[in-house]
Structure 1
Amino acid sequence: MRTVTLGLGTYRIRPSALSDAVVRAASAPVASWIDTAPNYLDGQAQSLLAPLLARHSIPVSTKVGFLTDEAAKNAFSDGALTDEEAEHGHCLSTPYVHWQCARNRTELGRDRLDLVFTHNPENADGDPHEALRNAFTALEEEAAAGALSSYGVATWDGFDTGALNIPDLHQLAVEVAGTEHHLRAVQLPVSLVTADALAQALDGEGPIAQAHELGWQVYASAPLFGGELPQLASHELTNLLNPDLSTAQACLLAAASCPGVTKVLLSASEPAHWAEAHAALREPAVPIPTLRKVLDVLAAD
C-alpha cells in the first residue's frame, strides 16, 4: 500500500504566504512535515518559522552546509569556521556542523532537531566523502547528546554524477557510529524532468530503491521542477498519467508514485495549490508500466 505524504517545502515559498502555508500543513497532523534550511528565504526561513512552530507542533527537517554571509561571519568569529571555509561558502566540518546545529535550534526555537540533512555535500571543498565523515561525526555526537533525532543527506545531482551512492553513505555511517547510527533519510529531486533516480527505482535499482531497502525515508524534492514542469508537459502526457487530474496534479502524482518515495516536498504558496496537491496524492498510484511509458515518451522528445 502506498503511504506517500505531502510535506511543505520552504525553498521557493513566498515569505508573506508562509504563515498560512504552515497552518495548512498542520491540518494533517499525522502526516505534517516542513522542510527548510538556514540559507532559505535569504537566511530568514528558520526565524520566520519559529513563532509559527510555537503554535503548531510540526516535525521539521533542516540542513547544514551552505553559508549565508551572516552565518559565515558569526561562525568565523566563534572559531567554528576558517577563512578558507568561509570563502568557499559551503562547509561540513565537525566544528561548523555543531555550530550550525546549535544555531538551527535557536532559530527554530526548539531544543531538539527532528532531522538534519547535510546539504549538497557534492559542493564540499575536496572529497565529499571526507566532508561527510566529519559531518556524520558531529551529527552522531548531536544525537548522543539528545539534541538531534536523526540525520540524512540532501543532494541535487550527487547521485546522478556518481559523487554519492547509498551503499557508501551507509558504510560511512557504520564506520562513524556502528550499526545503530542515526542516518535515516535522503532527499533528492524526483520528477519527470529529473528522472534518472525515478527511472532506476522502477527497476528496483538506484538510490531510491537502495535507501528504501535500508528502511530510510526518501524525500522527493522539486517534484514540479520549480513550477516549470506543468508548462513543459503535454495534454497527452497528462491523460496518460491520470485523465481526471490537471497537468500539475498528474506530474505531482507521477513523482509520488515512484517506488520507495515516502514524502513529496512542495513549496505551495496558494491554498488552492496545496488542496490540489493533496487531492492528487489521494489518487491511486500511476502503474509502473505507465510511468515507464511516460519516461520513454519524454526521452524520445
Structure 2
Amino acid sequence: MGKVKTIKAKETTNNGKNTQGLPFNTDFGQHILKNPGIVNAIVEKSAIKSSDTVLEVGPGTGNLTVKMLEQAKKLIAFELDPRMVSELKKRVLGTPVQTRLEVRQGDVMKQEWPEFDVCVANLPYQISSPFVFKLLLQRPLPRYAVLMFQKEFAERLLAKPGSKEYCRLSVNVQLLAKVEHLMKVKRTEFRPPPQVDSAVVRIAPRNPPPPLNFDEWEGMLRLCFMRKNKTILSIVRLSNVNDLLEENYRRVCRMKNKDIPEDLNFTELIEKALTESGFAEKRARSMKIDEFLQLLIIFNRIGVHFHV
C-alpha cells in the first residue's frame, strides 16, 4: 500500500482527532459509528449467544467490540491499522472481558479465518464483494453475518429480478444465503462522514449449501450478465462466447473419451437447446434463481460447461 494519508481536519471532530486522539485513515475505510443508539441496535440485531465466537472486521476504536464482548464467549477482531490495534487492546485492558478478545493485525482478505458463529462488521466498500463470497464459502458455515455496507451495495445484495440493481452479485448471494435488510444508517452518523449512506443487512448462509459446482455456476452467470439486457441466445451467438463454449465442449468430450461428430455444428446444437427449452429469448435482468439453475442443467445436458 502506498503512503498513508490522513483525512483533513475539517472532516473530523474534536480538533481533527477522534476521541482517542488518532486521525482517521480513510485509505483503510475508517468511518467510525458515533451514535451509541445505532451501535446498540446492531448488537441487538446480531442476537449474540453466550456460547458464540464472533468475528469482527475493522473494529476501529472498539465501540461495537466492547458491546459484543459483554455477550460473546469470544471475539476475534481483524484490524489493519496498528494504531487501532493498540487502542483496542488498551480499551479492554484490565476489564473482565479482556480475556475474551483476540486481535489479529493484518488484511482480513489475506489471512485464514478461524471458525466462528457470527460475523459483525462495518466493511470498507473496496472489500465488500470479495468479503461476502469468502464468508459464504467459509467452512464450517457461520450461523449468519450482520454487516454494514454502502447503501448502493446493500441494494444490489437485496435486488429482485427486473430491478435496475439486479446483477450477478444479487443472484450469487441469494443462491447461497438468505439476505435481509435490517436498518438504514445515514452518513452523518459516522466520524468522519463518508460520501454515501449505509445499510445493515443480515446474511444467513443456506446450510447445507446448494449442491452445485460453484465455479461453473459463476462462469455461466458471468456470461449471462455480460450483457444483462440482451437475450441469452444473442449472447451465445457472439463469436468469442461461441468459440469459448465450443472449446470447452470439445475439451470435456476428450476428458470423457466421448466421440465428437465430424459434422458437428456447435452453434446449431446450442441454439436448438435454448429455443426448445424456452430460454432463447430470456434476459438475465429478469431471470429468477430457479431459472438460472434450470439453464445450467440445460447447458450441461448437451455437454456445454463453463469451468473446465
| TM score, norm. by length of structure 1 | 0.31
**Using CA pairs below 8 Å that are at least 6 residues apart, which structure has the higher relative contact order?**
1
| TM score, norm. by length of structure 2 | 0.31
- Structure label with greater radius of gyration: 2
